[in-house]
């Protein structure tokens, strides 16, 4: 039997197919302006017996493809738990939301927080800030790590922060120092969420922002905890959905 999980996020869509609990297929695409068309393209030619959808677009997928759904919180809990045994805390920073999830020793969700009301502290925030400094999103974290001092960024609102960055650039401040200040502002927000939900255990860091080396380092330095990043951090939700599709057969 083949079980598929699809995670329809605000920026990207991920798809995982399992056979005998082994990943046999992974696919990813940009969400774009028509996520259901993009989802259909990912599924084209794919063989599976059951599919489960998660992510912000899961309800649209349920209507369009007559498929069951699962919340992102549960999908990420199951996906991260399958990759790292005895995981206690999960941090997911995606395109437009941030999730902090605490699990008990049996892998059950005990508490969570989710910021999905604005782009502050998310991948979209970092993307806009990188562009305002002339960096690509792939360069942004690496350049921030080269900074020798930290500039305080006071606003987490994307619009106000962009204006603050523009002002700092006009004053001749080093872009690397500004970049580090922006990364620290994202980490402060994430750490606040983590401290409200979790104990002093290791953190599994998922989502596209987990690829950012500066965010990873700052999290470890601030929390004094190990940050575990999956090989493919954007696939965690889709993996969890695929595992749940197998459980609910």
Residue ranges of domains in the chain, CATH in brackets: 1-84+231-249 (3.30.420.40), 89-229 (3.30.420.40)
Is the CB of residue 227 less than 8 Å from the CB of residue 203? yes
Helices (H), 35-174: 35-43, 58-65, 72-83, 123-132, 137-144, 158-170
User: For residue 116, what pLDDT is reported?
Assistant: 63
User: For residue 157, what pLDDT is reported?
Assistant: 79
* Cβ-based burial of 47 (10 A; exposed 0-12, middle 13-18, buried ≥19): exposed
User: For residue 181, what pLDDT is reported?
Assistant: 94
Average pLDDT over residues 82-92: 91
If pLDDT is split at 50, 70 and 90, which confidence band does 130 have?
very high
pLDDT for 208 beyond 90: yes
The three-point CA angle 158-162-164 to 5° equals 120
Average pLDDT over residues 21-30: 96
* Mean of the per-residue pLDDT values of the chain: 92
pLDDT for 64 beyond 70: yes
Of 226, 84, 110, the C-alpha closest to 101 is 110
pLDDT for 200 beyond 80: no
If pLDDT is split at 50, 70 and 90, which confidence band does 249 have?
low
Reduced to 3 states (helix: H, G, I; strand: E, B; else coil), residue 114 is strand
Taking CA atoms, 141 is separated from 133, 209, 235, in Å, by 12, 10, 21
């Amino acid at each position: 039997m083949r079980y598929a999980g699809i995670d329809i996020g605000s920026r990207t869509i991920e798809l995982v197919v399992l056979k005998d609990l082994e990943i046999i297929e992974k696919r990813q695409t940009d969400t774009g302006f028509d996520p259901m068309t993009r989802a259909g393209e990912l599924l084209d030619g794919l063989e599976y017996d059951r599919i489960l959808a998660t992510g912000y677009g899961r309800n649209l997928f349920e209507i369009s493809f007559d498929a069951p759904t699962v919340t992102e919180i549960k999908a990420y809990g199951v996906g991260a738990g399958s990759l790292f045994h005895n995981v206690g805390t999960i941090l997911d920073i995606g395109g437009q939301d941030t999730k902090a999830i605490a699990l008990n020793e049996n892998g059950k969700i005990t508490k969570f927080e989710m910021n999905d009301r604005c782009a502050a502290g998310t991948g979209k925030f970092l993307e806009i800030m990188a562009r305002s400094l002339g960096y690509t999103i792939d360069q942004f974290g690496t350049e921030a790590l080269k900074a020798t001092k930290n500039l305080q960024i006071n606003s987490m609102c994307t619009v106000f922060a962009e204006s603050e960055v523009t002002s700092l650039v006009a004053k001749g401040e080093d872009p690397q120092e500004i970049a580090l200040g922006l990364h620290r502002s994202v980490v402060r927000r994430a750490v606040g969420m983590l401290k409200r939900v979790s104990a002093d255990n290791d953190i599994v860091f998922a989502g596209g922002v987990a690829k950012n080396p500066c965010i990873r380092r700052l999290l470890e330095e601030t929390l004094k905890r190990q940050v575990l990043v999956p090989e493919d951090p954007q696939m965690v939700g889709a993996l969890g959905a695929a595992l749940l599709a197998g459980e609910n057969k």
